[in-house]
Structure formats: structure tokens, C-alpha cells
Structure 1
Amino acid sequence: MEKTQNIKRLDHKTLRHSFHLWFWGALTCFSQEHMQTFGYMASMLPIIKKLYPKHEDQVKAIHAYTAFFNTNPMLGSVIIGTTASMEEARASGKDIDGETINDMRAGLMGPIAGIGDSLIDGTLIPILLGISLGMSSGGSPIGAIFYIIAWVLIAYFGQRFLYFRGYKLGDTAVSFLVGKQGAAIRHAIGVVGSMVVGGVLATWVSVTTSLKLVGTNGKVFLNLQSKLDSIYPGLLTVVVTLFCWWLMSKKHVSAIWTMLILVAVSFIGVLVGFFNPGLSY
């Protein structure tokens, strides 16, 4: 039977302290062996000290956070908030132990990492960079300043919202991220991200050819770039973009090797006269 006569509650100051330790120290003492284990443990220290006044109880409780942990730092704050809620329930006599907490975070850190990496690194950051590039035309520093400020604000308040939502709702907050509603939101953000990246591509990337066929009379009878523009403006840009996507997505070629391949293609293209060395591609 659950013992609920000694109900304990975490105050806002303790929760805020815990969140700030995660925000600033999620990657503390990061290594291939432990990853974010110590960052997780550090964020739970204010929780443990508040709920367990006795030192021996603190040592026993903190032992649950020595296990391996690694997830997306931004979305992972919802797991930290959920853990704080579970720890509060355990200190109040609920039927929750360290093994239950470990099972929760072990089961969630993988899905949250997958969602966070695709949503943050694959969608949000490209959107911000696309907007920043548009604001940096002519060498203006406004784009860089916008990116720094926007990213810091989104990262801080986004993580803070997820942390306290995780604490308030418990497992319900996590199920929202990995459930149908969360999938719909991620899909919508992905569509917006694709539109922004497409706009950046059309604005900043331009691949053209200088190949021309000249007749015996010295007159140009085929200007390949003009023909391509009449059929599909920007066709070479799309081809090069799809080629880069194919290399990195399907063949798992790194970005560095992809750039080296583009340099080699450009060099050969200039030698055979397909590209004009005086143009910027």
C-alpha cells in the first residue's frame, strides 16, 4: 500500500535551480562512456537535497542517476522534469523506486533523441540559418546577431517550458511528444523547414553552364544555358542539390567529402569548358 501521509512538494526555486543546472550543464564531463550522465545527475542534486534532508537518504536516492544517459539536450529537458515529478512522488511514499526511474529514462532517451535531432538540428536550425542568410545580404552583421539572439531565446524558453511541463504532467508530457499530436506538429514544422530551405536554395545557390556550340560559320547555334532556362529555370541548381542529397542521405557520404567531390566536378567542368572559371557557382 502506498504511503501518502507524508506528502512532499518541490518549490519553484528548487525546480528552477534544477532546470538551470540542466540547461547550462547537460554536457558536463561529457565522454563516450558516460555521455550526459553527470549533467543529468547534477540537475537532480537540488531535487534530492530538497526531498531528502538526511545525508544517507540522499546518497541512496542519487544512486539511481549514475546509469548511462544520453538524449537530445533541448527536448531532453522534458525527461528531467518528469524525473523530478517521479522523485517527488517517491519521497512522498509512492510505489516508485530507482529501478522505475531508470526504466523510464532508458525507454525515453532514445525516442526523444531521435525526435529532437530531426526537429532541432534538421529543421529548426536550418530555418533560423535560412532567415539569417537572407538578413546578411551585402555583408550585414544583422543576420548573425539575429541567429545568436533567436537561438538562445528559443533554446532557453523552449527547454524551460518542456521541463516544467514534464514536471506538471509527468508521463503525459512525454506521450504528447511521441504520440499522434506530437507527430502532427513535427510534420508541420518539417514542411515549414523544407519551404525555408528551398527558398534559401533558390536565392543563394546558382549553378550555370557556359557550354556553347559554334557552327562552321562562327555563329553560336546552341547556348545550353539558354535552352535549359527555357525548359526549367534553375535546372542545374536542382540537379546539383539532388546530387548532394543523394550522396549524404543515400550513400552516407560526409559533408566534407561531398564538398571535395563538388570541387573536383567544378575543376573538371572548367577544363572541358562546361563551366566558366570567371563565374561563381
Structure 2
Amino acid sequence: MAKKTLSVVARKKSFRNWIYGNLTCFSQEHMQTFGYLASMLPVVEDLYEKDEDKVEALSTYTTFFNTEPQIGTMVVGLTASLEEARANGESIDDETINGLRAGLMGPLAGLGDSIIVGTFIPILLGIALGLASGGSVLGPLFYIVAWNLIMYFGMKYAYNRGYSLGSSAVEALVGSESESLRSSIVMIGTMVIGSVAATWINVTTSLNIAGVDIQATLDGIFPKALNLLFVYLCWWLMTKKKINPTLVMLILVVVALVGVLVGVFNPGLSY
């Protein structure tokens, strides 16, 4: 029997289904399950001829799946490679594939959140905010174009890399050598968030006690101290008190309003 090889057309369709539909029918119960299933449809169609074989193969991808969509694209490419191997008679079963998917989705979610959400998006937004100063349309245009181009080609690379590496991608992604990379990325992401907070948040006080300008005193001891205080307050409310971000924003509005009315904050308070 001739060896079955997943066609380039099928891989392109699989990638397209994932990039546009990874959140298809998203719910708290299934998360990205159906988006993943949609991305594997072209793969299964290309590798199997009998309908019963297609149904059996697709049933593998009905189990729960959820990860960071961009970095997680590598898992889709990886399972496409494993499905190709299974179609050629290699000893790969549902348990093996789902074990790899379940084992990778958590670490990749942490890696993706650190790189994409915690580092890359804040950097892009910081640049866009700078370009948008004075009401320039360059800011939003830059972000839309830059994000979509980098996201598309980055995800395409991740898919193809996962497909080419096959099962060897597992060690590269969750092995001991990747731990230092993840720790470094988390550190960089934390520094980026701190830089954004120091640059774009502007909390100042108009308090003057016994002739002492409190804001000037704070600036001399610890510049941006109030910025840090408000960022820490938001973190404490959301992580320790489990208050959702919308309610936290409402709390900040009330604090700002009351603070300005009683003369604690300057009317130019922004965050």
C-alpha cells in the first residue's frame, strides 16, 4: 500500500479553519473543541476514503480542548502529522493523540499568555498609543495592520513547525529546557506591564498639608508612586478579592470622582 501523505491543500485548509474558527461555537463547556474539530476536517478528508474511518478519526477531536490560540496553533499542526502517521498504520491511537493534546494545551496556554498577551500586545499597544497622540489615525491603523500580519504569519509558522516536528515537538515545548524560556518571558512580560503602567497612567494628588506639597514630595522620594498604588489596588481586587474587571473599573471611576470632589486628586486624573 502506497504511503499516504497529507497534501499541501489540506494543510492550508486545516490552518485556515483554525485561524478563522478556533473559537467556533465557543462555550464554557467546550471552549475550542469545535474549532479544533473544524481544523481537522480537511486532514481527515484527505487521508481517509471510507466514511466509517473518517468518523472514527474525527471522534478523537471531540474531547475538550482550550489553549492560547496563536501559540497553540502548533498543536493543530502536530496532530495533523500524527493523524497522517496513524493513517499509514503506525501505532498511534486516540489515547496517544488526546494525551498529547491535553499535555500541551496547558503549557502552551501559559507560554502564549506570557508572550502574546503579557508582552507582545502591550508593546504593540504602547507603540500605537504613541502614534495616536493628538488624535492621529496612525495609531489604530498601525495596531490593526501589525497585529493581523504578525499573527497570521506567526500562526502559519507555528502550524508548519508543529507538522514538521511531529511528536518530537513535545520535548521542545514542555521539556526541561523550555522552563527557563517560560520564566524569562514571564519576567519580560512583567517588566512591560510595569513600563506601560508608569508611562500611560497618570495619578496625581493635589493635597497640601501644612504647606507641604504632597505630590512634589512623593516625586522626590518615589516618582509614580500613586501609579504603582493604583495598579496594585487593581491587581489585589481582581486576584485576591476575585472581583471582575468591569466592577474594578467602576470602583476606579467612583474613587476618581470622589477624590476630585474632596480635593484629593487633581481634575486631570487619568488611568
Question: CA deviation digits over 1:170-189, x for unaligned, max 9?
Answer: 12223322234433333333
Match of 2:68 in 1: 72
Q: 1:160 to 1:174 in 2, by over 3 A?
A: farther
Distance (Å, rounded) in 2 between the aligned partners of 1:7 and 1:176? 27
> CA, structure 1 residues 134+191, in 2 after alignment: closer, same or farther (shift >3 Å)?
farther
CA contact (8 A) 2:73 2:155 kept: yes
Q: 2:49 maps to what in 1?
A: 53
Offset from partner CA, 1:142-163 (integer Å, 9 cap, x none): 1111111121122211211111
Q: Judge conservation of contact 2:218–2:225 (CA < 8 Å) in 1.
A: yes
3-state DSSP of counterpart to 2:212:
strand
Question: Does structure 2 retain, via aligned residues, the 8 Å contact 1:127–1:193?
Answer: no
Conservation of the 8 A alpha-carbon contact between 2:118 and 2:190: no
**Structure 2 residue 150 is matched with structure 1 residue 154:** yes
User: What does 1:1-281 align with in structure 2 at a 5 Å threshold?
Assistant: 6-213=2-209, 221-276=211-266, 278-281=267-270
The structure number with the bigger radius of gyration is 1
TM-score (norm 2): 0.89
Residues 30 and 36, structure 1, Cα contact 8 Å, conserved in 2 = yes
Between the aligned partners of 1:213 and 1:46, the Cα distance in structure 2 is 71
- TM-score (normalizing by structure 1): 0.86
- How far does residue 199 in structure 1 lie from its aligned partner after superposition? 3.1
Aligned residue type for 2:222: Y
SS at match of 1:209: coil
Q: Distance in 1 between matches of 2:117 and 2:200?
A: 21
State the superposition RMSD in angstroms: 2.2
CA distance in 1: counterparts of 2:147 and 2:114, whole angstroms? 16
For the 8 Å contact 2:122–2:196, the answer to whether it is kept is: no
**Closer/same/farther in 2, CA of residues 266 and 39 from structure 1, 3 Å limit:** closer
Closer, same or farther in 2 for the Cα pair 1:223/1:100, shift >3 Å? closer
Contact 2:71 2:155 in 1 (8 A): yes
Aligned counterpart, 1:218: none
Amino acid corresponding to residue 274 of structure 1 in structure 2: V
Pair 1:132–1:193, CA change in 2 (3 A): farther
CA distance in 1, matches of 2:104, 2:191: 30
* C-alpha contact 1:136 1:142 (8 A) present in aligned 2: yes
Query: How many Å separate the matches in 2 of 1:159 and 1:188?
Result: 22
Structure 2: runs of 5+ lacking an equivalent: none
Residue-pair matches, total: 270
Q: Counterparts of 1:233 and 1:37 in 2: how far apart (Å)?
A: 48
Distance 1:195 1:135 in 2: 22
| Unpaired runs of at least 5, structure 1 | 215-220
* SS of equivalent residue, structure 1 residue 71: coil
SS of the residue corresponding to residue 109 of structure 1 reads helix
